[in-house]
Chain A
């Protein structure tokens, strides 16, 4: 079935170095449109580094060098003339710690659209309402849009960050352990939200929670010391992984 799906990202022979240290080795993976792809693996295995190279956030890291071919919608995103601003508009990101700006809820959401040239007040209002409804936050906050976003609970803040990301109408949403700072109730709300979002967006999620990967993802990639050891349908990974190390890791016996 996956062969029928369109590829959002195509990664071929990717290497990533921090100075002389090679953090990612010969990665080959396809990320399909409107799939939830989970990246799992022990700490320091390179899964977050890989995630951050998909919207070129690693550009911020000094001495970071990438080789190989990373294509988004068929285009090499590390090509010299590739527009990083457009890339980040199309490939949004949600972080481990909810990071709303210390501004009002409204200002948080219109921040992105304003960067990309939306000025019309009515359009901005519509974006705020649409995205807050999409993340299921509208009912909770519609009467305090102009209050500080920092007054929201952790789970609400994270959903606001997702709404902020949706406001620029991305194709792909990268999520870096989005629930690791949240309690189980807030976590299950985010997980349910991810299931809804995948009808419209491609999602790549890094998670330390194996059960979360099993619950919400269509495909799972297992990272170990900078390599992808196995990538396959999530069902296959969790019932009958091909690689012994994958099995050890997902059954919690790694080490």
Chain B
């Protein structure tokens, strides 16, 4: 009886161990595969030169710039709106009917396939507002897409700020607005940052929504109204049209490295925030 239980427990433990090992192995294989195939082709030239001949030759410098511009623009637009929205829901509008409805749509927004955002961005920003394929249209579309993530993580962070901080500030004669700016939001720094970085990660890897709003031009953009190409889109195009295996894997490897760097940064930031408080 007893030894039966011990054996059972050992089987369970062994089972979970195997599954964990498989998960890790899959991750390592994917990353390893891409890095092994791509890293040898990453060189200073690849990083610093602009692509030529449809991307068969040259580097991806303008694509890197395009990626940074699109995603940073998205984050710059989505962060203030998302934070302001979360503050409004959590601090001002508390538990009204309207808030419940808006929150419901925010949740739905998070679950919509990205191609739908692309379609909307194309119809609204690119065509209706006449922006054309541009960094601006892409940035706005990506901003809408990552907005729910930022709102949600900011709201979670706001909820963890103890009521006593707010009371302490108000009791000293502070206004509600000053209390939020001076006490509440500083407590949410790491929560907001985590949301922003998650959004950044999502935007950087996005292809479908980008494809329909930014066009895909390979030359160096000179204004926000220019068409450009993000790394994910470049990778998709290279692979889809069989343009260059080498360049495809090099781009993929770079994208993975970038995402890993972003995640590491997010981890370091939240750890530091934990230590501060």
A, B assembled together: yes
Query: Residues on A close to B: CB < 8 A?
Result: 55, 57, 60, 62, 85-89, 92-93, 95, 97, 99-103, 111-112, 115-116, 148, 150, 161, 164-165, 168
- Residues from chain B with Cβ under 8 Å of A161 in the complex: 168
Task: Judge whether B173 and A168 touch: CB under 8 Å.
Answer: yes
Residue of B nearest to A98 (CB): B164
Range, interface on chain B: 20 to 34
Assuming A62-B94, A88-B173, A99-B168, what are 17 further A-B pairs, CB within 8 angstroms?
A55-B171, A57-B170, A87-B173, A92-B171, A92-B172, A93-B171, A99-B164, A99-B165, A100-B168, A101-B168, A111-B169, A111-B174, A115-B173, A148-B276, A148-B277, A165-B171, A168-B173
Complex CA gap A33/B172 in Å reads: 20
Instruction: Tell me which residues from 231 to 246 in chain B have a Cβ below 8 Å from any Cβ of chain A.
Output: none
- Residues from chain A with Cβ under 8 Å of B172 in the complex: 88-89, 92, 111-112, 115, 164-165, 168
- Residues from chain A with Cβ under 8 Å of B165 in the complex: 99, 101-102
Residue of A nearest to B164 (CB): A99
Indicate whether A101 sits within 8 Å of B173 (C-beta atoms), given known contacts A148-B276, A150-B277: no
- Residues from chain A with Cβ under 8 Å of B169 in the complex: 101, 111
Indicate whether A101 sits within 8 Å of B183 (C-beta atoms), given known contacts A85-B175, A95-B164, A148-B276: yes
Query: Mostly helix, strand, loop or mixed at chain B's interface?
Result: helix
Give 1 or 0 for each of B164-196: 1 = CB within 8 Å of chain A CB. Answer: 110111111111001000110011000000000
Task: Judge whether A99 and B167 touch: CB under 8 Å.
Answer: yes
Closest 4 CB pairs of A and B: A99-B164, A93-B171, A88-B173, A112-B172
Of the candidates B171, B178, B187, the one whose C-beta lies within 8 Å of that of A102 is B187
- Residues from chain B with Cβ under 8 Å of A165 in the complex: 171-172
- Residues from chain A with Cβ under 8 Å of B162 in the complex: 99
Give A58 Cβ to nearest chain B Cβ, in Å: 11
- Residues from chain B with Cβ under 8 Å of A111 in the complex: 169, 172, 174, 182
Residue of A nearest to B182 (CB): A111
Residue of B nearest to A93 (CB): B171
Can you list 21 contacts pairing A with B, beta carbon distance less than 8 Å? A55-B171, A57-B167, A62-B94, A86-B173, A89-B172, A92-B172, A93-B167, A93-B171, A95-B164, A102-B165, A102-B187, A111-B169, A111-B172, A111-B182, A116-B173, A148-B276, A161-B168, A164-B168, A165-B171, A165-B172, A168-B172
Give A163 Cβ to nearest chain B Cβ, in Å: 12
Task: Judge whether B173 and A112 touch: CB under 8 Å.
Answer: yes
Instruction: Tell me which residues from 143 to 173 in chain B have a Cβ below 8 Å from any Cβ of chain A.
Output: 162, 164-165, 167-173
